[in-house]
């Protein structure tokens, strides 16, 4: 057994109404990749927030390099050699990339910031990890995947003993993920330990030395990665066998066309162009494609978040005009956005407020909100989706990712939409919570709702879609029926213009 750089012993953390951590243990060896796994709500992120000083544990001890330490702030954690790449990115979008990296430790020349040195240091850092990004570009102009790589670079810049990576590949392409793994290998050679949180089993088995599994805020055990399989990990995570990743479907969509999109074009030439498709009542239409395929841009245009230059949107046989999200809502559309924290939840508001916010006017009488009817509607909608929350007053930011996603679905169901657009509905959600979301989707189409689902996960795309529409560089390259769709055909269509 190698030497431990970190020991977390009997860590306990209590929030109002919930014991998030119950005597949890984590021991990490120097220079190793240690995966931390468990369903959403298992306590992984809470444990790491205790290590990084965002939370303070209510019991237990943290030992770094053999010395017991108290970590009360993130600044202390960084000084002790612990850095963290958070699951949800919060860059300062209107400031340059380099300022985001060196925030709080700008190189100075007297009383002024030494911009020249900052550019030089950022370029050296990017060269070290082979990252091709202009240090002076505004962070807000970068894609989610580029922002993720900038966060990784920032963590590397601290020369830490331990780097916590919470879902680091959730926004990355396959090539960017390979690049990250290369960076991790470089860090290991320097003796840096990586604590790696991910729901992607293949990644965990590929890159980890050891795996610790948590369940319901408790420590289940630690195993060497080479002794584990995907089935074993799932069984230990959920405490039961999950033979099926998707709920059985005993429902066939109707032939009634609820939505017809004809020759839809964006005013931006590199965005979606000449898109044609139909959506039937009770159907799940999957949209596949690689990063840059313009899938999100297309569905955001359907919801009035982006401009449409030309083309027709026909719903229930009548052409409609959608210029704003209000237009979309009034025509029976709902959109679950790709970035849950950035454009979905209101973190500082309660589960109640987050649930009713899109249908607030329905609970007002003479301009005054009726608290009783708001509460009743929010509770009923969340109960139907089996949302786990101590109360409707709980802040949504304190819920697990899977339960946050359920609240967002509950929000849109209260608007009584005909068409739900789900953009990466299970991103950053564990295998158990994914199954619950899939079950909800099946229940909705049985009730006559229609779903457009963007997914970058091939098993999800193939397992949940009645038909799969594939896009490449803004154009539809093919639409496959469920019985003919497979990963080879989808990937071939997704790379149509790259061959």
- pLDDT for position 151: 85
Average pLDDT over residues 7-15: 92
Q: Are 53 and 77 in contact (CB under 8 A)?
A: yes
Q: Are 466 and 283 in contact (CB under 8 A)?
A: yes
DSSP of 178-196: HHHHHHHHHHHHTT-EEEE
Write the pLDDT tens digit of every residue in 353-395: 999 988 888 887 777 778 888 899 889 988 888 888 888 999 9
Is the Cα torsion angle 291, 295, 300, 301 positive or negative in sign? positive
Percent of the chain whose pLDDT exceeds 70? 96
DSSP of 304-325: TSS---EEEEEETTEEE---SH
Write the pLDDT tens digit of every residue in 253-300: 999 999 999 999 999 988 999 999 999 999 999 999 877 789 999 999
Confidence of residue 40 (pLDDT cuts 50, 70, 90): low
Q: Using CA atoms, how far apart are residues 298 and 278, in angstroms rounded to an integer?
A: 14
Confidence of residue 1 (pLDDT cuts 50, 70, 90): very low
Q: Using CA atoms, how far apart are residues 450 and 302, in angstroms rounded to an integer?
A: 14
The alpha carbon of residue 335 and the mean position of all alpha carbons in its chain are separated, in whole angstroms, by 16
Task: Provide the token pair at 235.
Answer: 């069984």
Task: Provide the token pair at 192.
Answer: 């840096």
Decide: helix, strand or coil at residue 245.
coil
Percent of the chain whose pLDDT exceeds 90? 49
Write the pLDDT tens digit of every residue in 328-344: 999 999 999 887 777 78
Q: Using CA atoms, how far apart are residues 303 and 421, in angstroms rounded to an integer?
A: 9
Nearest residue to 306 via CA among 321, 288, 323, 285: 323
Domains, the chain, with CATH or none: 4-238 (3.40.50.300), 257-498 (3.40.50.300)
Max avg pLDDT among 134-148, 339-353, 423-437, 454-468 = 454-468
Confidence of residue 210 (pLDDT cuts 50, 70, 90): very high
Average pLDDT over residues 179-205: 88
| Average pLDDT along the chain | 88
Q: Using CA atoms, how far apart are residues 274 and 252, in angstroms rounded to an integer?
A: 29
Q: Are 470 and 477 in contact (CB under 8 A)?
A: yes
Confidence of residue 229 (pLDDT cuts 50, 70, 90): confident
DSSP structure class, residue 395: B
From residue 445, how far is each of 155, 314, 389, 418 by CA, in Å?
Answer: 43, 20, 26, 10
- pLDDT for position 240: 57
Segment (H or E) for 276 = strand 275-280
């Amino acid at each position: 057994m190698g030497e431990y750089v970190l020991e977390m012993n009997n860590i306990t953390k209590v929030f109002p109404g919930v014991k998030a951590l119950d005597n949890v243990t984590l021991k990490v060896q120097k220079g190793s990749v240690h995966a931390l796994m468990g369903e959403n709500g298992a306590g992984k992120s809470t444990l790491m927030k205790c290590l990084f000083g965002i939370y303070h544990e209510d019991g237990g001890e943290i030992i770094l390099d053999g010395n017991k330490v108290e970590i009360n702030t993130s600044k202390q954690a960084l000084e002790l050699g612990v850095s963290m790449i958070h699951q949800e990115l919060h860059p300062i979008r209107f400031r340059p990339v380099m300022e985001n990296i060196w925030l709080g430790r700008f190189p100075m020349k007297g009383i002024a910031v030494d911009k020249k040195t900052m550019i030089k240091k950022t370029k050296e850092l990017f060269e070290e990890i082979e990252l091709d990004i202009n240090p002076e570009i505004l962070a807000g102009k970068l894609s989610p995947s580029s922002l993720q790589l900038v966060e990784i670079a920032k963590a590397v810049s601290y020369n830490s003993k331990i780097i916590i990576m919470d879902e680091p590949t959730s926004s990355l392409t396959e090539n960017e993920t390979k690049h990250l793994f290369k960076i991790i290998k470089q860090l290991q050679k320097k003796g840096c330990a990586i604590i790696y949180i991910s729901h992607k089993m293949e990644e965990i088995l590929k890159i980890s030395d050891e795996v610790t599994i948590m369940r319901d805020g408790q420590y289940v055990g630690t195993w060497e990665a080479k002794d584990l399989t995907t089935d074993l990990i799932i069984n230990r995570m959920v405490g039961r066998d999950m033979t099926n990743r998707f709920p059985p479907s005993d429902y066939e969509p109707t032939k009634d066309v609820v939505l017809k999109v004809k020759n839809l074009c964006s005013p931006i030439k590199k965005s979606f162009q000449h898109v044609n498709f139909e959506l039937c009542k009770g159907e799940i239409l999957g949209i596949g494609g690689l990063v840059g395929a313009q899938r999100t841009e297309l569905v955001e245009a359907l919801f009035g978040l982006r401009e449409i230059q030309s083309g027709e949107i026909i719903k229930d046989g009548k052409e409609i005009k959608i210029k704003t999200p209000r237009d979309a809502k009034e025509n029976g559309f709902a959109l679950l956005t790709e970035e849950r924290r950035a454009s979905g939840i209101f973190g500082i508001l309660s589960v109640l407020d987050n649930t009713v916010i899109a249908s607030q006017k329905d609970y007002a009488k003479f301009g005054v909100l009726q608290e009783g009817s708001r509460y009743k509607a929010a509770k009923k909608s969340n109960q139907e989706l089996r949302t786990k929350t101590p109360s409707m007053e709980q802040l949504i930011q304190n819920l697990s990712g899977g339960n946050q996603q359920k609240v967002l679905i509950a929000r849109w169901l209260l608007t009584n939409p005909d068409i739900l657009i789900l953009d990466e509905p299970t991103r950053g959600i564990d295998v158990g919570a994914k199954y619950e979301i899939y079950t909800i989707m099946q229940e909705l189409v049985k009730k006559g709702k229609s779903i457009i689902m963007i997914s970058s996960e091939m098993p999800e795309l193939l397992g949940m879609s009645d038909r799969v529409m594939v896009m490449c560089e803004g154009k539809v390259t093919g639409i496959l029926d469920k019985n003919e769709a497979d990963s080879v055909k989808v990937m071939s269509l997704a790379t149509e213009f790259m061959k």
